[in-house]
Structure 1
């Protein structure tokens, strides 16, 4: 399931980042990063203006998309970043995450979304092109620019329903973790 991660789920995001293999880490951050960097990065991601959507399977984050506002640099702009664990690639997860991020950006008044990837990251370039990103290549990186458009009643409703479903899933998993196993068996006939 792709859903929004809440600040209380920071550890799930951190664990995802720490599971990324060296190549995926390099693709995501554009340089070599160590565990300490990732732990610090995860600790600051849910700050003001930070939003994370994740692909969650059996309570474990296997892919994430981050949206960070860049209003202090350029008005109505944001940055998108993505990471999908090696074993979960080529399943459409990146596309689902990208779509949710574009909707979230629109609904927050972010008219221009930027993303950066390495020139050799062909999968990310194809995904960005699918969302009509204008790609400008350089020696060290490729920058994508996406015009998101403004919010509509449909994009607002879409995000609200996604958030409600994600929050309900989170609440149910917390509630189940607090219930004794015997009560769960009686309640759900297991």
Structure 2
């Protein structure tokens, strides 16, 4: 999957004919409210697929409030009107001491995509960004847990060549990652740079629309 990360990134940037380019940016504290709005907009079926159960708004709010951007990594995709349409959460396993493990490090990935952005490769691009980040952070294994009925996640797992174990309607998928390379580091740096530019342009355009909008 990641043998030629820079080439893969360039191909992903070009995208498929008829599809918009999907750029993935690392999110931070300033995006917490947007992340909350994204999750609250998920209907019951999407919440079930993302969290494994249909959790209420209050529980989603607590989940978003506890996001620690200094520890875990959250990636996002924004549309042309500066709304988050895809969110990927990368959580790193802890050793018993409470510190990140230094050997056989494992990261767990969860993803959600808004209905308006389905079929555009958003989920796959979020996964690819998470995988290359893990690789560059010397994480050995990327892990996903989902319901077997989650066809999108199962497709991403199979496409990535993940080892999948199914049991009682749930699936555990694992991807062993190679060590970082010059190409993988460059690919992630370019992705973040392009995504940051795209993010800023859309944010400024959104602010201009609000400022120039009709005054009441």
Shared fold (TM-score, shorter chain, > 0.5) = yes
* Residues 97-127 of structure 1: CA deviation (Å, up to 9, x unaligned): 1111111111111110110010211221121
Q: Which residue of 2 aligns with 1:15?
A: 37
Mapped pair 1:119 → 2:130: no
Go from structure 1 to structure 2 and tell me whether the alpha carbon gap of 1:34 and 1:134 turns closer, same or farther (over 3 Å shift).
same
Go from structure 1 to structure 2 and tell me whether the alpha carbon gap of 1:27 and 1:175 turns closer, same or farther (over 3 Å shift).
closer
Secondary structure, in 3 states, of the residue corresponding to 2:178? coil
Mapped pair 1:106 → 2:135: yes
Tell me if the contact between 2:74 and 2:87 (Cα under 8 Å) persists in the aligned partners: yes
TM-score, normalising length from structure 2?
0.76
Mapped pair 1:128 → 2:150: no
Query: Counterparts in 2 of 1:39-58, with a 5 A limit?
Result: 39-57=61-79, 58=81
Tell me if the contact between 1:24 and 1:86 (Cα under 8 Å) persists in the aligned partners: no
Tell me if the contact between 1:65 and 1:82 (Cα under 8 Å) persists in the aligned partners: yes
Distance of 1:124 and 1:83 partners within structure 2: 9
Tell me if the contact between 1:119 and 1:142 (Cα under 8 Å) persists in the aligned partners: yes
Q: How far 1:172 sits from its partner (Å)?
A: 4.0
RMSD: 2.2
Go from structure 1 to structure 2 and tell me whether the alpha carbon gap of 1:92 and 1:72 turns closer, same or farther (over 3 Å shift).
same
Distance of 1:169 and 1:6 partners within structure 2: 16
Secondary structure, in 3 states, of the residue corresponding to 2:24? strand
Distance of 1:94 and 1:170 partners within structure 2: 18
Tell me if the contact between 2:78 and 2:199 (Cα under 8 Å) persists in the aligned partners: no
TM-score, normalising length from structure 1?
0.86
Q: Which residue of 2 aligns with 1:24?
A: 46
Go from structure 1 to structure 2 and tell me whether the alpha carbon gap of 1:45 and 1:2 turns closer, same or farther (over 3 Å shift).
farther
Q: Could you say which structure has the higher helix fraction?
A: 1
Q: How far 1:179 sits from its partner (Å)?
A: 10
Larger relative CO (CA 8 A, sep 6+): 1 or 2? 2
Q: How far 1:169 sits from its partner (Å)?
A: 3.2
Query: Counterparts in 2 of 1:55-66, with a 5 A limit?
Result: 55-57=77-79, 58-66=81-89
Q: Which residue of 2 aligns with 1:186?
A: none
5+ residue gaps, structure 2, are: 1-21
5+ residue gaps, structure 1, are: 183-190
Q: Which residue of 2 aligns with 1:166?
A: 195
Secondary structure, in 3 states, of the residue corresponding to 1:41? helix
Distance of 1:132 and 1:50 partners within structure 2: 24
Distance of 1:105 and 1:24 partners within structure 2: 26
Q: Which residue of 1 aligns with 2:17?
A: none
Tell me if the contact between 1:52 and 1:67 (Cα under 8 Å) persists in the aligned partners: yes
Q: Which residue of 2 aligns with 1:85?
A: 114
